Amino acid sequence: MALRRVAITGVGLITAVGVGRDETWDGLINGRSGIGPITSFDTEGYRTTFGAEVKDFDPTTVMDLKNARKADRYSQFAVCAAQEAFDQADLGEFDPERAGVVIGSGIGGMHTFEEQHRKLIARGPSRVSPMFIPMMIGDMASGLVSIHLGFKGPNYSTVSACASGGHAIGVSYQHIANGDADIMIAGGAEASVCPMALAGFSSLKALSANNDNPTKASRPFDKDRDGFVLGEGAGVVVLEDMDRAVARGATIIAEFAGFGMTGDAYHMTQPDNSGTGAFNAMKRAMELGGIKSEDVGYINAHGTSTHFNDKIESGAIRRLFGSHADDMAVSSTKSMMGHLLGAAGGVECGVIALALQKGILPPTINYETPDPECDLFYCPNEAVKKQATAALSNSFGFGGHNVSLAVKAWKE
């Protein structure tokens, strides 16, 4: 059976750079950092004291107060981003049995877990909320989005650490391409700027410790990078059967063209030095989408600002694209909005769709000292005006999970 083509007709974004798609996009193309000292809890004694927090977020603009109180912060992000994407898609009448939801999260309701654990220790088991389990579990963002929008088709969550959002979009594409659904809400949500996550990643020495200058801390591909910055938020796209979208006269943002996923089978936290998993994920996404190397004008890199990831990813790109790598633009928007963990792939897929639609490629800010081991063009410090034919979004997660998403510019 021939695979059905898939359109992207809606994007919803909530990041530290901005609450909403337009505010986030404006911040990214203008190189605005959303990183600063953490304000939601006391960071005294922590190795790292800053992060990329979502500020001025009010879930009751979308959810009623009662339902918002019964949802962890990561689920609130998911519902609000999904509503924004849904509104933009303007789907008209649709069969709810043919509309599904897949929202990935690497950690789930960590705020709820911490809060209820404190109650358990301080006041005993009887004081733990009956809502603890449904608020904490990692599939609840997908569940609440489906309830909120009335989508009754495929519904579940993907969990693959920092590749979770990318996996969610990739498998959602498969549901439409294979005829299982006509519409999918897909992406990632994470709310892990909290004491335990900050302490854990700090102990792992994965985070930047540039406490004196947080806005300069996330510096992907720069020789002086010293770790990633913990972020939070959500990124959601509406995927739709292309024939349906065209027939109803939808505004098509871009075409979702391909999905590649691999495993490193190498190490719990460190990527394979050969970069083979990343290489094969990108190669598979392009093959599935019928995309030639010379068609790819932009890659939104995983680009975490860690020593191993940045050089290994750069090497995999160089190996795959050969001489064309010198004609491509690569950037890491994590330099501005931090690393959203399981939400990263959802946000960054939305970003490449907007980049193709608008002909503007977001920069990598804080790029000051080139690293000989990272030898690509990283859109240093300023957005690049370029109409790319196709773009990739890469997401790699602890456990050796690799995802690459391929998107094509839409031409009527």
Q: How far apart are CA 7 and CA 342, in angstroms?
A: 23
Mean pLDDT of 170-181: 98
With a pLDDT cut of 70, the percent of the chain lying above it is 100
Q: How far apart are CA 340 and CA 298, in angstroms?
A: 21
- Dihedral sign, CA of 278, 279, 280, 284? positive
pLDDT beyond 80 at 412: no
Each residue's pLDDT tens digit, 62-77: 999 999 999 999 999 9
Each residue's pLDDT tens digit, 94-128: 999 999 999 999 999 999 999 999 999 999 999 99
Each residue's pLDDT tens digit, 291-345: 999 999 999 999 999 999 999 999 999 999 999 999 999 999 999 999 999 999 9
Q: Where would I find the beta strands (DSSP E) of 180-301?
A: 183-191, 232-241, 254-263, 296-300
Q: How far apart are CA 137 and CA 121, in angstroms?
A: 20
Confidence at 203, pLDDT banded by 50, 70, 90: very high
Each residue's pLDDT tens digit, 17-35: 999 999 999 999 999 999 9
DSSP 42-108: --TT-S--EEBPPPS--GGGTS-HHHHHTS-HHHHHHHHHHHHHHHHH---S--GGGEEEEEE-SS-
188-194-200 Cα angle (round to 5)? 95
Catalytic annotation, residues:
162, 302, 339
pLDDT beyond 80 at 1: no
pTM to 2 decimal places: 0.97
Residues 136, 112 contacting (CB under 8 angstroms): yes
Q: What is the pLDDT of residue 411?
A: 85
Local structure of 402: helix, strand or coil: strand
